[in-house]
Structure 1
Amino acid sequence: MPRTAEVLKVGRGAQSPPFLVMDVIAAANARAAALPPGAPGILRMEVGQPGHGAPQGAVEAATRAMRSGHALGYTEAFGLPSLRARIARHYLDHYGLVVPMSRIAVTVGASGAFPLAFLAAFDRGDRIAMATPFYPPYANILESLGMEAVLLECGPETRFQPTLALLEAMDPRPDGLVIASPCNPAGTMLPPEELAAIARWCHANGVRLVSDEIYHGLSWDTVPEASAAAFSDSAIVVNSFSKYWCMTGWRIGWMVLPEDLVRPAECVAQNMFISPPHIAQVAAEAAMDCTEELEAIKAGYARSRALLLEGLPRAGLDRIAAADGAFYLWCDVGHLTNDSLEFCTRMLEGAGIAATPGVDFDRARGGRFLRFSYCGVEAGMAEVPVRLSRWLERDGPRS
């Protein structure tokens, strides 16, 4: 007899926890759709998506490619040689690093890079450490692949970043370590000397380092940018065109791979993805030469950041992580609530502000934190402290 639905199982990989920011996006969309004509709109601070689209040069390159009559078919699994060469030049220009094109893999966004990296570098049962708060898909992807995420509780005293002392205290030592600088959600960065010490410790102790550098280009002159590729030949570096280059929906990113993982990662990529989207690769290569436009967009983020760092404390949110980079503010709201999910729901309904609850990023302490993204429309960011202050005065905090 055919099996019935009652006895069919759901695979372990399909049982990952939700990425709650996606649920917040859906709630904000529904709230916006229900607003009456003329009502103030929703201020979107829940998602790390630039309010600007791809730079004009990227759009024009994609348009020319679409009209050229040439088939935009499969590329090599690791992407167009011209794009890989352009990324290699970026490492020389931006960091003074010589990175062979052969070690660069173009991926289906950074989100496509992480499973490739994890599958190439780790086995089922391996333990991979990361600081908490952390970007949720790190742990969710690892756990869906049968690996274990080992969470290192970090706070403002370490700038929400891991330290060498924390790593040396681990017993047993992990098989891998994921770091992010600037990090999501806190926006903090590892100073180059601390990044170097961690990278060298990992290399010396057989701990595979995965460095998330997708917010490079978006730092605010408090901590210098440095790439883990400068300090370790065994590290995996992940980057993306989604943030600085404003190309979220194009789904295009890259990895810098150590020599021993180039072929294993390529084989996984061939089977899982075939190749990154051809048209997105064409646009991404052109975007890398749109510096003037992109720097103007970045200047807008800087203005929004300054407005919020001044305005949020006046509204009652004065415990904010050092915002070294990215476009997030990680706010401790423990004096207002111990339930950030409920607080965000009320804030959306009462103030028209969509933000992400901290429980998405910190399983133990997230009830007292919120993440605000300030990469949206600049005029809207300026309005946030005003709305927030009025709402808190009217509704008051709840535990």
Structure 2
Amino acid sequence: MALKIAKRGTVAPFIVMDVMRAANEREASGGDVLHMEVGQPSTSAPQAVLEATQKALMADKIGYTDALGIPQLRERIAQYYQDYYGVSIAAERVVVTTGSSGAFLLSFLSAFEAGDKVGLTAPGYPAYRNILRALGYEPVEIPVGPETHFQPTPEMLDSLDVTLDGLIVASPGNPTGSMLSRDDLQALCAYCDGNGIRFISDEIYHGITYGRKADTAVEFSDNAILVNSFSKYFSMTGWRLGWMVVPQDMVRPIECLAQNLFISAPTLSQFGGIAAFDCLEELDQNVAAYARNRELLLNELPKAGFNRLAPSDGAFYIYADVAHLTNDSQAFCKKILSETGVALTPGVDFDEARGHHFMRFSYAGSYAHMQEAAMRLKEYLS
């Protein structure tokens, strides 16, 4: 008799990871690949981070830490909010996590009960939707587009035919790179507080913006949960280190969940995280490189036929409407990878209903790779 497999494992795949696997298989068989599918900086962790972890590795036993994180790291994160945003928060409200993925798991489990309804934008980061479904919550997709800068509004929330228990918003967003204005973020926080909706602010692309800094929801709401990560701006994807800023009354419940689910975030990575905040000048040079890549692609992609682009205010993504080129973005991306070696992500990863005619370009790689990819796409689609 075959034993059952839990239904939570039947959630949709994170398609970008499938694309990356196909790209890696092509490389393993001798083919070349220009990676524009995955949101991963091509730069290494900052030099001071490498030195701090080497020192810790030789001097420390690298055992478990407190479930909430090394006190020095929690204090350094709190100081960062004062230095970067001009906002004062208590270090006791900071929770160090196993990447932002661990933070989302902890935030969902601590904020919602089975069956609760949680709003998220479409397009949006697919893991929100998939984690919510796996945990027994009901994701409520909110279609957004250029008319609202690919972000939700209080009016949209008012028009829903369900009552939300939570709302997840990313600014800058993935896949669009769009950002909320300061006033719009404040309005969403006020709406959620006034309607008993737990606001979860995904701020993992803060620091990677063009034209203005992103605002943090902690400035506008004491009830919001903030999620950030060392993966993107700090260029530490494989270190699996993130953090949350949470309401004071959620600290102990989250600590208990973290103790049982994770024990603690990776200890060696936490030592590196402390040093990362001393590397902002080096990290801002990475952002300047992303800005050059962004400018190149915004100029060159329209020449290849990708001329319907979402605003790319931050992060390192460009989201393109390709309805005039294909009605099957997944097959289109596979064909482009097979015939040009350029790896791209289909929009169905981010929007189940409309993503079949959208694609995402990541420009986190080197300038030379962006140049080559743009040239191949122009030649292929001309």
TM-score, normalised to structure 2's length?
0.99
The Cα of 1:35 is off from its aligned counterpart by 2.8
User: What is the CA–CA distance in structure 2 between the aligned matches of 1:82 and 1:359, rounded to whole Å?
Assistant: 41
Contact 2:97/2:264 (<8 A) preserved: yes
Give the AA of the match of 2:16: V
The Cα of 1:148 is off from its aligned counterpart by 0.2
Contact 1:110/1:253 (<8 A) preserved: yes
Q: Which structure has the larger Rg over C-alpha atoms?
A: 1
Alignment match of 2:177 (pick from 187, 194, 198): 187
* Other-structure match for 1:104: 94
Give the AA of the match of 1:359: V
User: What is the CA–CA distance in structure 2 between the aligned matches of 1:131 and 1:282, rounded to whole Å?
Assistant: 35
* Other-structure match for 1:344: 333
Alignment match of 1:57 (pick from 48, 62, 70): 48
Alignment match of 2:23 (pick from 17, 28, 50): 28
The Cα of 1:13 is off from its aligned counterpart by 2.2
Give the AA of the match of 1:297: N
Secondary structure of the 1:320 match is coil
* Per-residue Cα deviation, 1:113-161 (whole angstroms, up to 9, x for no partner): 0010000000000000011101011010011110000001111111111
Contact 2:20/2:38 (<8 A) preserved: yes
The Cα of 1:297 is off from its aligned counterpart by 1.2
The Cα of 1:384 is off from its aligned counterpart by 1.8
* Per-residue Cα deviation, 1:12-67 (whole angstroms, up to 9, x for no partner): 2222210011100010011122236xxxx311000000001110000000000111
Alignment match of 1:303 (pick from 276, 292, 300): 292
* Other-structure match for 2:104: 114
Alignment match of 1:9 (pick from 4, 11, 33): 4
User: What is the CA–CA distance in structure 1 between the aligned matches of 2:45 and 2:8, rounded to whole Å?
Assistant: 33
User: What is the CA–CA distance in structure 2 between the aligned matches of 1:118 and 1:305, rounded to whole Å?
Assistant: 33
Secondary structure of the 2:233 match is coil
User: What is the CA–CA distance in structure 1 between the aligned matches of 2:163 and 2:153, rounded to whole Å?
Assistant: 14
User: What is the CA–CA distance in structure 2 between the aligned matches of 1:247 and 1:182, rounded to whole Å?
Assistant: 18
* Other-structure match for 2:242: 253
Give the AA of the match of 1:77: A
User: What is the CA–CA distance in structure 2 between the aligned matches of 1:146 and 1:243, rounded to whole Å?
Assistant: 29
The Cα of 1:170 is off from its aligned counterpart by 2.1
Secondary structure of the 2:359 match is strand
1:144 maps to 2:134:
yes
RMSD over aligned Cα atoms = 0.9
* Other-structure match for 2:38: 47
1:76 maps to 2:71:
no
* Other-structure match for 2:255: 266
User: What is the CA–CA distance in structure 1 between the aligned matches of 2:29 and 2:277, rounded to whole Å?
Assistant: 39
User: What is the CA–CA distance in structure 2 between the aligned matches of 1:349 and 1:143, rounded to whole Å?
Assistant: 33
Contact 2:46/2:235 (<8 A) preserved: yes
* Other-structure match for 2:115: 125
User: What is the CA–CA distance in structure 2 between the aligned matches of 1:104 and 1:224, rounded to whole Å?
Assistant: 22
User: What is the CA–CA distance in structure 1 between the aligned matches of 2:243 and 2:343, rounded to whole Å?
Assistant: 30
* Other-structure match for 2:367: 378
* Other-structure match for 1:154: 144
Q: Which runs of 4+ in 1 moved over 4 A?
A: none
Secondary structure of the 2:55 match is helix
* Other-structure match for 1:396: none
Contact 1:192/1:224 (<8 A) preserved: no
* Per-residue Cα deviation, 1:183-222 (whole angstroms, up to 9, x for no partner): 000000000100000001101110000000000000001x
After superposing the two structures, state which structure 1 stretch, 311-320 or 26-35, moved more.
Answer: 26-35
* Other-structure match for 1:169: 159
User: What is the CA–CA distance in structure 2 between the aligned matches of 1:14 and 1:154, rounded to whole Å?
Assistant: 28
Contact 1:251/1:280 (<8 A) preserved: yes
Contact 1:191/1:224 (<8 A) preserved: no
Contact 2:123/2:350 (<8 A) preserved: yes
Give the AA of the match of 2:210: W
* Other-structure match for 2:186: 196
The Cα of 1:169 is off from its aligned counterpart by 1.6
The Cα of 1:259 is off from its aligned counterpart by 1.5
The Cα of 1:266 is off from its aligned counterpart by 0.8
Secondary structure of the 2:139 match is strand
The Cα of 1:225 is off from its aligned counterpart by 1.0
* Other-structure match for 1:329: 318
The Cα of 1:172 is off from its aligned counterpart by 3.1
User: What is the CA–CA distance in structure 2 between the aligned matches of 1:11 and 1:172, rounded to whole Å?
Assistant: 28
TM-score, normalised to structure 1's length?
0.94
Aligned pairs, how many? 382
Task: Give % identity.
Answer: 52
User: What is the CA–CA distance in structure 1 between the aligned matches of 2:55 and 2:370, rounded to whole Å?
Assistant: 35
